[in-house]
Amino acid sequence: MMNLPPEIIKTLKRFIAEDVRSGDLTTEITIPADKMAIATIYAREKAVLAGIEEVAAIAEFSGLTYEILAFEGNWVNPQDPVMRLKGKARTLLTIERVCLNIIQRMSGIATKTYKMVSAAREVNPRVKVACTRKTTPGFRYFEKRAVVIGGGDPHRYALDDMVLIKNNHVTAAGSVHAAVSAAREAVSFSKKISCEARTLQDVQAAIGAGADIILLDNFKPKDVGGVIEVLEHEGLRKKVILEVSGGINEENIREYARNAIDVISSGALTHSYNAANFNIRLSLN
């Protein structure tokens, strides 16, 4: 069923079940069971399209046929048709809201991601723009897939993807050096170790203990530049991946990207986006 993992198909079915509960009361008392119809999904504003695979999967397990009219990752304009569903009118009306919710939210994230990636790469063509785990519980897969569609990096999906030592880990471990050293000793070579740093001293300690990635958290752009200068002077810059995060948005991402940084991560990609506007128009066969 499309290219979605089986557990995601189950999630989509759960979304529909949550909305329907014991039945679509309005549709069942107003629409004859044998009435057939066509539902066309239209964009109502300019956006980067995402969520088509999810709607196609819903159509398949709901007994509908579909035609994809626009491709994910492309810009669509107001009044552009993006997908057409065909089948029982009752079914089309029952799944309508969930399909729109998914497309609107995923397209909103893809659009925001595209804009931030484009802005960053205007001044730093090689920089990666990544999301974080600041996602909606139950909707993480879809939000991170939308980031990828928009040209961003999904970062780690869950806690077991990599070691990411944050400020509270450092506090519990006693120091940056202690936390990174413990991770270096225990973790497989196949897992990268990232360490959050709040000061230049944290950066130096993390590199000294063997961190692969340094996460400069809540640094101002000029301070990021200062850290890079020191690391270059000490011959340490090429030993690590440098990532910045904390309060980064469409307005200031260029300032961060102008530094020779490797990764810019932003929670705003998945928690501060505007859902794109789409609608569904029903017509009879």
Q: Tell me the torsion sign for CA atoms 181, 187, 193, 197.
A: negative
What pTM, to 2 d.p., does this model score? 0.95
Residue 143 near residue 131, CB atoms below 8 Å: yes
Active site residue 134: yes
What whole-number distance in Å separates Cα of residue 204 and Cα of residue 239? 11
On average, the pLDDT of the chain sits at 95
pLDDT digits (tens, 9 = 90+) for 2-38: 688 999 999 999 999 999 999 999 999 999 999 999 9
CA angle 217, 222, 225 (to 5 degrees): 80
What are the structure tokens assigned to 64, written together?
Answer: 């509908």
What whole-number distance in Å separates Cα of residue 63 and Cα of residue 127? 43
What whole-number distance in Å separates Cα of residue 86 and Cα of residue 22? 24
Q: Which of 13, 86, 115, 134 is catalytic?
A: 134
Say which CATH superfamily domain 6-115+274-284 falls into: Quinolinate phosphoribosyl transferase, N-terminal domain (3.90.1170.20)
283, with CB counted inside 10 A (0-12, 13-18, 19+), is exposed
State how far the alpha carbon of 107 is from the alpha carbons of 150, 196, 231, 260, in Å: 9, 31, 39, 30
What local confidence, expressed as pLDDT, does residue 123 receive?
96
pLDDT digits (tens, 9 = 90+) for 182-234: 999 999 988 999 999 999 999 999 999 999 999 999 999 999 999 999 999 99
Which CATH code for domain 122-271? 3.20.20.70
pLDDT digits (tens, 9 = 90+) for 253-284: 999 999 989 999 999 999 999 999 999 999 99
pLDDT digits (tens, 9 = 90+) for 95-115: 999 999 999 999 999 999 999
Q: Which phi and psi (to 5°) does residue 187 adopt?
A: -90, 155
Which residues of the chain are in CATH 3.20.20.70 domains?
122-271
SS3 assignment for 235-272: CCHHHCEEEEECCCCCCCHHHHHCCCCCEEECCHHHHC
Which residues of the chain are in CATH 3.90.1170.20 domains?
6-115+274-284
pLDDT at position 1 over 70: no
